[in-house]
């Protein structure tokens, strides 16, 4: 029997959640238009909507927050955070932002011109929006296996080098402002990228004069998978692996709300001084001063400490294995999930879970709503609703992966909470035929999954 590591922490402060009864949950999700994003936090018993900004901070982080320097310019907490980012990631220049999408916005505005292409290992919602809003077309160059939930590969987030080369041949290197490499790949199920693949992508990009920017949001989880799965890295520290990963990039955007172990924060890091100076100018317009970028001094201090803590092996081992614990329970019960289990979430395969619902009836959206109704567990749709519409034709993007994401916040829940979530999913699977499809009654023009409302098909 597989052994899972115990929590590498002791609980010092507790929060008591509400536990609504079944009728109250039915009314709550109906009032939210069957969109779990529109539920009130107080109405969710186990909240697996996201791991973004939902982390529990350590005593050292809370202590560090008391040293917050809230100066408008020249905060000493920024000096600390900047030094930590340079030390752990190896970049020469850093610009702070309020979160990852702030960094994506600045990078996209600086580098993208209309009519260009940004290749990446599977899209992410806000990332693609910023790229397309600035005139680029996203091109998916992830390996084909990433789109198949049944295939179990150790590095399912890898870039397909032939796909990247084909885009260069088709469009020309001058039409590719940069390659976007995500570590890990969220919508593929939290799948990692191998170090060997990063080196190979770097070599191909050097051949054609292309820049590489990483989406570093869950890079510590990626480093853990490299340590556990890739030959030659078992004896390397997580910190050493992280440093090597980013040595193959020209820059990175990061949301500190994930592997930074904080509730708010992010950055754009680069090696090009000219790009850095332009980013410093733009951060004033969109984020704040270059010495806080939308973060308070106390947030920057907690972020700096969180980066150090996230690279501790005991922490990251428990974090990834707790996710695996939930996934393994579901697999043992025959529940269809994306394999292998990723670093931050378990993704239910809604196509296989609800084979009686075609994709136009929004099976993942309906499954997420029913999971909440039956258990008080909040999750997130990651399928046709999240994929949105083609910016030219207006037709729905129809991704091969139609999933519900059960996302585990860091240092928040115990294995007992995972048992409750697993039991709820298993019970729902046993009664899946009763789940009906949904349709839009309100559809926002962009990033529709955040605010859309739905109703049942008759």
How far is 138 from 125, CA to CA, in rounded Å?
11
Give residue 217's Cα distance to chain centre. 6
User: Is-catalytic flag, 89?
Assistant: no
The answer to whether the beta carbons of residues 46 and 417 sit under 8 Å apart is yes
What SS3 class is residue 324?
helix
Question: Among residues 124, 224, 225, 454, which one is catalytic?
Answer: 124
Q: How far apart, in Å, are the Cα atoms of 131 and each of 178, 252, 318, 391, 430?
A: 11, 15, 35, 12, 41
User: Is 258 among the catalytic positions?
Assistant: yes
φ, ψ for residue 263, nearest 5 deg = -95, -15
CA dist 154 and 196 (Å) reads 13
179 DSSP 8-state letter: E
Residues in the chain: 458
Catalytic residue among 382, 410, 411, 448: 382
Q: For residues 411 and 59, is the Cβ–Cβ distance under 8 A?
A: no
Q: Identify the active-site residue in 2, 10, 16, 72.
A: 72
Known catalytic membership, residue 69: no
Which SS3 state, helix, strand or coil, does residue 38 take?
Answer: helix
SS3 94: strand
Distances (CA, A) of 6 to 55, 314, 316, 317, 322: 18, 9, 12, 10, 9
Tell me the C-alpha distance between 140 and 134, whole Å: 18
- CA-to-CA separations, 426 to 337, 347, 429, in angstroms, rounded: 12, 14, 5
Q: Which of 47, 51, 160, 215 is catalytic?
A: 215
- 125 belongs to the catalytic site: yes
Six-digit token pair at 230?
Answer: 């890739």
Beta-bridge partner residues of 90: none
Assess contact for 191 and 342: CB atoms under 8 A: yes
Classified as helix, coil or strand, 378 is: strand
225 is catalytic: no
Q: Which residues are catalytic?
A: 72, 124-125, 215, 258, 382, 449
């Amino acid at each position: 029997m597989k052994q899972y590591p115990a929590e590498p922490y002791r609980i010092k402060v507790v929060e008591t959640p509400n536990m609504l009864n079944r009728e109250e949950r039915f009314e709550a999700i109906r009032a939210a238009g069957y969109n779990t994003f529109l539920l009130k936090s107080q109405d969710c018993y186990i909240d697996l909507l996201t791991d973004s900004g939902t982390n529990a901070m350590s005593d050292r982080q809370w202590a560090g927050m008391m040293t917050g320097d809230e100066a408008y310019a020249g905060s000493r907490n920024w000096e600390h955070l900047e030094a930590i980012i340079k030390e752990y990631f190896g970049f020469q220049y850093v610009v702070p932002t309020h979160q990852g999408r702030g960094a994506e916005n600045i990078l996209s505005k600086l580098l993208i011109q209309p009519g260009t292409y940004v290749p990446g290992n599977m899209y992410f919602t806000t990332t693609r929006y910023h790229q397309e809003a600035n005139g680029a077309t996203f091109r998916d160059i992830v390996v084909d296996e990433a789109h198949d939930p049944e295939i179990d590969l150790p590095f399912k987030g890898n870039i397909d080098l032939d796909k990247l080369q084909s885009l260069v041949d088709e469009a020309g290197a001058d039409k590719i402002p940069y390659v976007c490499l995500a570590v890990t790949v969220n919508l593929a199920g939290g799948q990692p990228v191998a170090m060997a693949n990063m080196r190979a992508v770097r070599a191909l990009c050097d051949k054609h004069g292309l820049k590489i920017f990483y989406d570093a949001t869950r890079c510590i989880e990626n480093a853990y998978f490299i340590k556990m799965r890739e030959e030659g890295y078992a004896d390397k520290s997580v910190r050493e692996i992280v440093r090597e990963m980013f040595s193959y990039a020209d820059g990175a955007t990061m949301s500190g709300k994930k592997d930074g172990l904080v509730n708010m924060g992010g950055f754009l890091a680069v090696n090009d001084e000219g790009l850095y100076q332009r980013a410093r100018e733009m951060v004033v317009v969109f984020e704040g001063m270059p010495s806080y970028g939308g973060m308070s001094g106390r947030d920057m201090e907690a972020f700096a400490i969180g980066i150090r803590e996230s690279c501790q092996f005991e922490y990251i081992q428990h974090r990834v294995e707790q996710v695996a614990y939930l996934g393994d329970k579901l697999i043992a019960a025959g529940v269809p999930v994306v394999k292998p289990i990723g670093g931050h979430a378990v993704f239910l395969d809604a196509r296989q879970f609800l084979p009686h619902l075609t994709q136009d009836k929004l099976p993942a959206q309906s499954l997420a709503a029913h999971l909440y109704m039956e258990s008080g567990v909040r999750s997130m749709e990651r399928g046709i609703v999240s994929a949105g519409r083609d910016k030219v034709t207006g037709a729905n993007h129809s991704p091969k992966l139609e999933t519900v994401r059960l996302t585990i916040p860091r240092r928040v829940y115990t294995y007992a909470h995972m048992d409750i979530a697993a039991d709820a999913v298993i019970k729902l699977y046993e009664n899946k035929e009763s789940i009906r499809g949904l349709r839009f009654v309100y559809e926002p023009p962009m990033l529709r999954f955040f605010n859309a409302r739905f109703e049942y098909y008759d």
